[in-house]
Structure 1
Amino acid sequence: MILVRPEPVADMEPFARAAQQGDPGGLARLLRHEYPAIRAIAIGILGAGPDAEDACQDTAVAALAHIGDLRDPSKVRPWLHAIVRNNCRMILRNRMPGLVESAGTDRIDSFLGDPAAIVERGALRDLVWHGLRQLTPATLPVAMLRYFTVRNSYEEIATLCGIPIGTVRSRLSEARRQLATVLPLIGDHRHLDQSAIDTERGEEAAAILSAVANRVPLPSVHERWAEDLVMYWPSGRISTGLAPIYDVLHSDYQMGARHRLTGVASTPGITIWEADAIYGSGRPDGFPAAGTWLLREKAGRVREVRLIYGSSALSA
């Protein structure tokens, strides 16, 4: 559980302001004080149990990531309470048949806006990403997919990572525990410029998604992507090397699809692309509207790629 021991502090605004200026200690004290109220809200809506704990943990991580975008620090309490209520409402909807759990638009975005865009603007952006880079190799991609992508239900994360849904839950719990331990300790460290990292990886993704459709040679891609990389397609097919990726993107191009990059999240060893498929004469039935790519690197080269579509898939 993250930071559950309350402190007798009446005014949370100074700690919210300190957190926005990059002081993780301020945010730690804020969460220690407010966590019991957050938990009470979650239990009041969901009842005691793992769902309420999940809602609380996701609220704490959202605060860690997005405190920099809070416009009025004096309203930090209702801000946190609104996040946990949104989390709980999403979980209630997901209890209904046919719905999947998501930490995306309905859970956080409805109150805060796009998570990745907020982290890009927030004062804690680089600190949060520094914290993410401290996660273990098993928990890192799960946390990145959960909090910084659109297709982030447990089911979708499980598919992208090639693990059972139960493992997704346990790794997210471990990621939250690690972040709660790591973030308060890294305020004085020098952090990499996350925007520069994402810009570099975004340029690579945009080049591939646009140039490959016309089979334009990309020497830089050939240098960074291993010739024997393994590609896991949404249909379950597994291929080896770059050629099948070129072939599928070229086939999309012939069917009138253009791929537009919409988001990038990257750390050393892991890169995630999100892209929309744009059709000149309207999207045909059964064709994907969007896709999420998970790239894994080893020794600086992309060795494994997994792809899921945002709607029914092509035949790849």
Structure 2
Amino acid sequence: MSTVPTEAERAEDEALTRAAQRGEVAALARLLERHRPGMRAVALSVLGPGPDADDVMQEAALVALRRIGDVRDPAAVGPWLRMVVRNAGRAVLREARRTEPVADVPVPPVAPGSVTPEQVLDRHALRDWIWEAVEGLSPALRLPFVLRYFSLRLTSYQQIARACAIPVGTVRSRLSEARAQLARTLRATADDAHEETRARTGASWAEARETLAAAERGEFARVVADRYARDVVLRAGGEVLGGRALLLAGMDGDLAAGVRQRPVHVIAGRSLVVWEMDLVNPSDAPDHCPPGVAWIMTLDQGRVDSLTLCHTPRPRSDGAPASDEPHV
């Protein structure tokens, strides 16, 4: 494609983009293939040849899958895709210069009042297609990938490393491997029909709220008996802290102290569920708990067999890194 697209090329881009926004997987695949040379040229100009450029191309494709609804001028999808690649490449360069985590790949802001990318995904088949492919990843690859691309608060490399109890370098290598595997799976399954995940996500939202309400009524033990494996393992900071008894004691202790949890985001797969919560401390003990917590749950035959708690670090007023002390 020439640097300045012709009217016919712009018209084709517009038609493909609108089709992709309606959930037509083949249209999105054609868009990515159509603009691959230009995207690759941007990656090479920012990073030079090598594995980083390959990683950025894979990451940009995933951003496009999730954020195609952001494109407000479908005829200009080419510049949007190249911008995604450029931003991803710059994030890699920032990470190379710094030891602390970098922000997730920037994407164009959503105009106030417009439909969010998550709402777009919730309406069409791309979400189901992506989720089915994610389920095919091994557990070691699935959790870092889900946190990076689907969570609200655990998206940086260092946060993922803490949640998964692995080095930051391992996070990056696992994400790279996950993206490569996912790309192969998505290409191979573009024409398949997959189960609806919207109902599963809605059910998980309801379960999170019901679990917390039951806990406040003193019925958390019943919930654990009904929905958790008998030998459920409780983890934090990469360590096994205990099992069912500690899980019950921790919830009872927080409730007795006046702490309440409020769900703010839910990620619901068949084998991995993440509930991100705000922690609301009592007015007389505002620092009792960190500001938030993620419940990272693995499932075996529909029952929780492992629960990892990953707390949002407390902010510090002096600009130093936030505290990462564990809390149960």
Could you tell me the TM-score, scaled by structure 1's length? Answer: 0.82
Q: What is residue 31 of structure 2 aligned with on the other side?
A: 30
* Cα deviation 1:69-99 (Å, max 9, x = unaligned): 5343222122222322332343344344453
Equivalent position of 2:83 in the other structure: 82
Residue 107 of structure 1 aligns with which residue? 106
- Paired residue for 2:277? 275
Kindly provide the amino acid, as one letter, of the partner of residue 267 in structure 1: G
Distance 1:244-1:115 versus aligned 2 partners, 3 A rule: farther
Contact 2:277 2:293 in 1 (8 A): yes
Aligned-partner SS, 1:157: helix
Aligned match of 1:61: 62
- Superposed, which structure 2 residues align to 1:96-245 within 5 Å? 96-97=97-98, 99-103=100-104, 107-108=106-107, 110=109, 116-122=118-124, 124-150=126-152, 151-217=154-220, 219-234=222-237, 236=239, 238-241=241-244, 243-245=245-247
SS at match of 2:46: helix
Q: Which amino acid aligns with 1:170?
A: S
Amino acid at match of 2:106: R
- Range 135-144 or range 293-302, more displaced: 135-144
Q: CA deviation at 1:293?
A: 1.9
1:115 & 1:102 partners in 2: Cα distance? 18
Q: What code does the residue aligned with 2:173 have?
A: S
> How far is 1:135 from its partner?
2.8
Shift in Å at residue 163 of structure 1? 3.5
Number of equivalent positions: 306
Between Structure 1 and Structure 2, whose CA radius of gyration is higher?
2
Distance (whole Å) between structure 1 residues aligned to residue 136 and residue 239 of structure 2:
32
Shift of 1:179: 2.3
- Pick closer, same or farther for the CA change 1:28–1:80 going to 2, 3 Å: same
Distance 1:227 1:45, change over 3 A: same
Structure 2 equivalent of residue 5 of structure 1: none
* 5+ residue gaps, structure 1: 1-8
Structure-2 change in CA distance of 1:188 and 1:207 (3 Å): same
Tell me what 2:319 maps to.
none
Check the 8 A contact 1:214/1:250 in 2, yes or no. no
Which ranges of structure 2 fall in alignment gaps of 5 or more residues? 1-7, 314-322
Which amino acid in 2 is paired with 1:128? I
Contact 1:212-1:246 within 8 A present in 2 as well: no
C-alpha change, 1:171 and 1:234, in structure 2 (3 Å) is closer
How many Å separate the matches in 1 of 2:191 and 2:142? 22
Instruction: Quote the sequence identity (%).
Output: 36
State the Cα distance separating 1:203 from its structure 2 match. 1.6
TM-score by length of 2: 0.80
Contact 1:66/1:115 (8 A) holds in 2 = yes
Deviation of 1:231 after TM superposition, in Å, equals: 0.7
Contact persistence 2:17–2:27 (CA under 8 A): yes
Shift of 1:276: 1.2
- The structural deviation recorded for 1:228 is 1.2
Two-structure CA RMSD over aligned residues (Å)? 3.1
Distance 2:295 2:118 in 1: 16
Deviations along 1:138-180, one digit per CA (max 9) or x if unpaired, are 3222221110012122232233234343333233222222222
Q: How much has 1:232 moved relative to structure 2?
A: 0.5
Cα distance in 2 between the residues matched to 1:29 and 1:136? 28
User: Could you tell me how far apart the structure 1 residues matched to 2:57 and 2:284 are?
Assistant: 41
Structure 2 CA distance for aligned equivalents of residues 307 and 115 of structure 1: 27
1:253 is aligned to 255
Tell me the SS of whatever aligns to 2:294. Answer: strand
Counterpart residue type for residue 209 of structure 1: L
Q: Distance in 2 between matches of 1:255 and 1:286?
A: 8
Name which of 292, 295, 299 aligns with 1:293. Answer: 295
Measured in 1, the distance between the counterparts of 2:255 and 2:240 equals 20
Do 2:233 and 2:243's aligned partners in 1 also have CA atoms closer than 8 Å?
A: yes
SS, match of residue 307 in structure 1? strand
Contact 1:16 1:76 in 2 (8 A): yes
Find the aligned partners of 2:17 and 2:234 in 1 and give their Cα distance: 44
Go from structure 1 to structure 2 and tell me whether the alpha carbon gap of 1:79 and 1:226 turns closer, same or farther (over 3 Å shift): same
